[in-house]
Amino acid sequence: MQKPSAWITATAMRATMAVRARLAEDSWHEAQQRGVRQYVILGAGLDTYAYRAPLAPDTRVFEVDLPAMTQWKRECLRAADIPEPLSVSYVSTDLTTGALSEDLQQAGFDPALPACFCWLGVSIYLKPDQVMLTLRDIADCAPGSSIVFDYCVHRRHLSEQECAGLDFVAGTLAAQGEHLHSSFEPPLLQHMLHHHGYRHIEDFDASALQTLYGAPLSGIFRLMRATV
């Protein structure tokens, strides 16, 4: 049986995953109201949005992930007899290489038109400079483009209980052969986004997200929404 503190952390993390997806999809729906028709899901994994949501005929969804993950997902779709919508393009790329913009354009992405980016559950596995490389690529997109992404908060900004929760998360990842490679101080991250050309920046901590969605969340991770 898990210790109570571990159980509480795991429960809060599950709520965090649900809320981050909700904020990202809410942001995409708002972008659609503004006429945005390109939705880019970075680290798409087994994301199901494009297979369950009604989309306007002129909408394009770009699912970006490592080649092996993209191949596995498509095999899972075939096994489940779920058709691949014509609106979906699968983009195989490695975010550590700096090839995101080129690979997106080869898949039909139009950099002259605004896009909405969703980037969840990925940044912790990248080094800080690799995270910023991706954010710089997105900042070069057409005005009106936006991104929602999550990030790990540097432990200097966490309570003692949250630090214990972070250690639990790091230990769980290590047991799975993964490692937590980056964390950020919220004010510094906002400053870096401003420096790279993002205009309207919103940082959602656990309190702000609970106000929006009513779910008690861990403060280990935050969500940031920014517009080019």
pLDDT range class, residue 2, cuts 50, 70, 90 = very low
pLDDT range class, residue 119, cuts 50, 70, 90 = very high
Task: Report the percentage of the chain scoring pLDDT > 70.
Answer: 95
Give mean pLDDT, residues 189-202. 96
Give mean pLDDT, residues 108-116. 97
Give mean pLDDT, residues 148-155. 97
Residue 1: what pLDDT? 40
Structure tokens given for 84: 């691949």
Residue 7: what pLDDT? 52
Q: 48-54 contacts: CB < 8 A, separation 24 or more?
A: 49/25, 50/85, 50/87, 50/88, 51/77, 51/82, 51/85, 53/25
Structure tokens given for 67: 């080649």
| CATH 3.30.70.270, domain 4-227, yes or no | no
Structure tokens given for 217: 């969340």
pLDDT tens sequence across 201-215:
999 999 999 999 987
Residue 6: what pLDDT? 58
Residue 15: what pLDDT? 83
- Find, among 51, 42, 55, 47, the residue nearest to 109 by Cα: 42
Q: How far, rounded to the nearest angstrom, does the alpha carbon of residue 192 sit from its chain's CA centroid? A: 18
5 pLDDT exceeds 90?
no
Of residues 217 and 121, which shows the higher confidence score? 121
Mean pLDDT of the chain: 92
d(CA 95, CA 200): 24
Strand order of the β-sheet with 88-92 is: 88-92, 60-65, 38-42, 116-119, 146-152, 221-227, 201-204
19 pLDDT exceeds 50?
yes
